[in-house]
Structure 1
Amino acid sequence: MPNSLPMALLPFQPLSRSMITATSSTCSELFRPRTTARIGAEPAAGNDRMAMTLYGAPLSPFVRKVELCLRLKGIACARDPVTPFALPEGYERINPLKRIPALAVDGRYLADSAVICRFLEDLYPEPQLIPTDPWLKARTGWLEKFADYELAPAITATAFRHRVVLRSMGSPYDEPAIAAALAERAPPLYGYLEEQVDGRIFLVGDRLGLADIAVVSQFMNAAFGGESPAAERWPQLARYLGNHLASEPFAGVFAAHRQMVDKMLARGH
């Protein structure tokens, strides 16, 4: 797998900083295991600051979705980078489904990235990542679900799990079968997103939101697995992804996670 960005994800015009509200946390601070971010956001009125720990491996697109919400909102949170392949004993008490991510909040636990992100939005409403307008809020929920339940199994898991995870472990995988599965399942999903982008900078409304975070996070992992929408066939989607992957809050995370993937693959040879 090449180290360079796939052609369809080459950066176009980066988004200006004025379009995105983000904190100045560095990637090393963001993903350092079992530490607490230095920046603390102000909670909504009536809520005291809470002690939080996020459980999950940073290369998971679902963990990354929560990480980006934490970063954008400047929420202080410790990290425990557990992986689904080596969960600590007793993790089922945190999440009975034994999945990541999970969030500990003052000794209580939440599971599922969508649930966690909505909790963070309610607790720390600024910057707003989920619109309050009923239609835009519903659109955000739908596109997040589309990313989690359609893009993830059809594209992300297919490309990333086999071409990165299994390959890094030295396990065999059927590349022709993977390529055939992607060729069959990806085009309808890319086509739908092509229509949703339709010249927009953001999927919902006029600012970066949870819908963008969920979708772009999945395409990061797909890119690590050598899969991306062809610019000549899906130009709107390719432009949208290129813009976001070249801009914060995604660019630094994308580069840092690319380095992690490269190290994984180097160890697998």
Structure 2
Amino acid sequence: MNILYHVPLSPFCRKVRLSLAEKKIEVQLVEERYWEPDADFLRRNPAGKVPVLKLDGKFFSESSAICEYLEEKYPEPSLLPQDVETRFEVRRLVSWFDDKFHREVTANLLYERVNRKIHESGYPVSANVKAGAKAIKFHLDYLAWLLDNRRWLAGDAMTLADFAAAAHLSSLDYICDVDWNRSEAVKDWYATLKSRPAFRSILADNVPGFPQPNHYSNLDF
């Protein structure tokens, strides 16, 4: 049985979930309390992080490495273009969201508002929340700029870059921290993505203690 050990609102787990679903690779989702690691989980990934994918009896960790492995093992449908310049741009944007966006936005909003409560590690730090709320405006404007010049984030085709961005934004949308009215282009891009079958399990997520907002799974917002 193929298993993805994950946390529902983790953007890194969501990126892998989207890739698996787009490629129609069936997995069982198993929630992992990685902040309370046990010996079995540490054997699966000594780094003690999610996602961890069990595929064909082997374990794989680190979200981008997993996605690239899936691309090589299951090349269709492709999420990494053959053109080397466009492939570079996909990887650059994946890094942008998993590094810069995560550090400036996701860590300051999602982790402060949600993870602190789940991990019982105190109240949100207001300065961090304010910093995240300010930073996301810059990133949404950057997305809008990309989409003014491209059909998708990295070019003419949907790629892993779109999934990386949508993974972060969907997690933040769950806690109502995305102003979709800031850019019609970004809103339309996200609406197109969330209408894909690969997004269905993401939109079905429900986190105890954090009710799903009404608009979250609405394909028309």
TM-score band, normalised by shorter chain: 0.7 to 0.9
Structure 1 CA distance, aligned partners of 2:44 and 2:120?
31
**Amino acid in structure 2 at the alignment position of 1:238:** K
With over 3 angstroms needed to count, the CA separation of the structure-2 counterparts of 1:256 and 1:133, relative to structure 1, is same
Please tell me the root mean square deviation across aligned C-alpha atoms, in Å.
2.5
Structure 2 CA distance, aligned partners of 1:183 and 1:71?
30
Structure 1 CA distance, aligned partners of 2:149 and 2:139?
17
Larger CA deviation: 84-93 vs 219-228:
84-93
The normalised TM-score by structure 2 is 0.82
**Amino acid in structure 2 at the alignment position of 1:63:** C
Alignment of 1:52-131 (within 5 A): 52-131=2-81
**Amino acid in structure 1 at the alignment position of 2:201:** V
Gaps of 5+ in 2: 212-221
Among 146, 166, 171, the residue aligned to 2:116: 166
Q: State the partner residue of 1:23.
A: none
**Alignment partner of 1:227: what SS?**
coil
Among 144, 151, 154, the residue aligned to 1:194: 144
Shift of 1:105: 3.7
Is 2:133–2:177's contact at 8 Å kept on the other side of the alignment? Answer: no
State percent identity of aligned pairs: 28
**Amino acid in structure 2 at the alignment position of 1:264:** G
Larger CA deviation: 166-175 vs 70-79:
166-175
Gaps of 5+ in 1: 1-35, 37-51
Among 203, 210, 221, the residue aligned to 1:265: 210
Query: Matched residue pairs, number?
Result: 211
Structure 2 CA distance, aligned partners of 1:214 and 1:111?
16
Structure 1 CA distance, aligned partners of 2:24 and 2:199?
17
Is 2:204 aligned against 1:256? yes
Structure number with higher relative contact order (C-alpha < 8 Å, ≥ 6 residues apart): 1
Is 2:177 aligned against 1:227? yes
**For 1:231-255, what per-residue CA distance to the aligned partner results, in whole angstroms no more than 9, with x for missing partners?**
24x343233223323x123652343
The structure with the larger Rg is 1
**Alignment partner of 2:156: what SS?**
coil
Structure 2 CA distance, aligned partners of 1:109 and 1:169?
26
**Amino acid in structure 2 at the alignment position of 1:244:** L
**Amino acid in structure 1 at the alignment position of 2:70:** L
Structure 1 CA distance, aligned partners of 2:134 and 2:40?
40
Is 2:84 aligned against 1:134? yes
Is 1:229–1:238's contact at 8 Å kept on the other side of the alignment? Answer: no
Among 239, 242, 252, the residue aligned to 2:188: 239
Structure 2 CA distance, aligned partners of 1:125 and 1:170?
41
**For 1:15-70, what per-residue CA distance to the aligned partner results, in whole angstroms no more than 9, with x for missing partners?**
xxxxxxxxxxxxxxxxxxxxx5xxxxxxxxxxxxxxx4322223321111111111
With over 3 angstroms needed to count, the CA separation of the structure-2 counterparts of 1:138 and 1:107, relative to structure 1, is same
Structure 2 CA distance, aligned partners of 1:195 and 1:242?
17
